[in-house]
Amino acid sequence: MPAASAVLTAGLLAFHRAVPNSAGRLGSLLETFLPWLGLVVLVLLGLTLLRRSTIALVALLLPVAAWTYLFGGLLLPGAKSGPHDLAVVQHNVSDENTDPAGTARALADAGPDLIALQELVPPALPVYEKTLAPDYPYHAVRGTVGLWSKHPLTDARLLDIKPQGIAGPWSRGLRSVVHTPHGEIAAYVAHLPSVRIRASGLASSWRDESARLLGKAVAAEQLKTVILLGDLNGTVDDRGLAPLTSRMNVAERGFAFSFPAAFPLARIDQVMACSATVAHIRTLPATGSDHLPVAAQITLR
């Protein structure tokens, strides 16, 4: 039994793309929690040692090798900062956050060049603007997403990533140009639709459609260097974000599970880049949100 389970676990890790998404998006559901299959490997190791099964122990090498290939690199220490690094913070601040001022101060204390926020509601927006203004004199807000910067921003505009099935006002995308000491960068801030886990599987059709629209916008970008910061409601392994992950670099170091804040199970808050490297990503201490902030170091090419 442990040997067969080890082979099955290895198969799910190595060939997760082969799991069909047609029924309940089971493939995406598996990929959302794919790193946690490492716990299955540990349980199987315990059973194998109890049974003293040589065959099971050999079989266990398969999932160990598959997990290490997929995720082992994320455990390595982050590279040292270089001369062309850009520090960024991404945070869904929650529309129910009762301490926007404290949240803003905590993000500013991390000292990033850029801060991207989602779920900005009208009562809290002036608080974020006032609190961040001393260190971040440039900012742009479109709908419920915003970008604060130490460097000048121009050409800020709404990014239309609204799925067809959503009625009423819905504005969750922003594109702006950041004028850094190293050149112009296109910064995208996005909040993709939420997904739900139901008895029938993963409900993610709106999220997937919004990801396709965002991917088209990134593909059409004229500037060479692009940074995407957002609550994408999906992990980088989830095929639903393939329109983005197929075009953009994702974090090379760090798991940075960001949701839910009380017991993080997955990183759905993402930092991606084109013509730049996301060298390392990490979480920051909890704020008044149900998400943890994530901070990343961008190495510009």
What does pTM read for this prediction?
0.94
Q: Within this chain, do residues 55 and 105 fall inside the same structural domain, yes or no?
A: no
Return the pLDDT at 199: 72
> Of 80 and 75, which is predicted with more confidence?
75
Q: Within this chain, do residues 133 and 11 fall inside the same structural domain, yes or no?
A: no
Q: What does the pLDDT look like over 125-182, one tens digit per residue? A: 999 999 999 999 999 999 999 999 999 999 999 999 999 989 888 999 999 999 999 9
Q: Within this chain, do residues 90 and 70 fall inside the same structural domain, yes or no?
A: no
Q: Within this chain, do residues 102 and 50 fall inside the same structural domain, yes or no?
A: no
The last residue of a domain, from among 47, 75, 103: 75
Q: Within this chain, do residues 64 and 212 fall inside the same structural domain, yes or no?
A: no
The last residue of a domain, from among 45, 75, 105: 75
Return the pLDDT at 191: 98
**Residue 178: inside a domain, yes or no?**
yes
Could you tell me what percent of the chain has a pLDDT over 70?
Answer: 97
Q: Within this chain, do residues 71 and 128 fall inside the same structural domain, yes or no?
A: no
282 bridge partner residues? 295
Average model confidence (pLDDT) across the chain: 94
Residue 155 is part of which domain span?
85-300
Q: Within this chain, do residues 255 and 295 fall inside the same structural domain, yes or no?
A: yes
Return the pLDDT at 78: 67
pLDDT bracket for residue 79 (50, 70, 90): low
Q: What does the pLDDT look like over 26-76, one tens digit per residue? A: 999 999 999 999 999 899 888 888 877 788 888 999 999 999 999 999 998
The last residue of a domain, from among 57, 75, 93: 75
**Residue 262: inside a domain, yes or no?**
yes
Return the pLDDT at 168: 87
**Residue 204: inside a domain, yes or no?**
yes
8 Å CB contact between 133 and 123:
no
Return the pLDDT at 2: 82
Q: Within this chain, do residues 139 and 182 fall inside the same structural domain, yes or no?
A: yes
**Residue 80: inside a domain, yes or no?**
no
Q: Within this chain, do residues 150 and 293 fall inside the same structural domain, yes or no?
A: yes
Domains identified in the chain, total number: 2
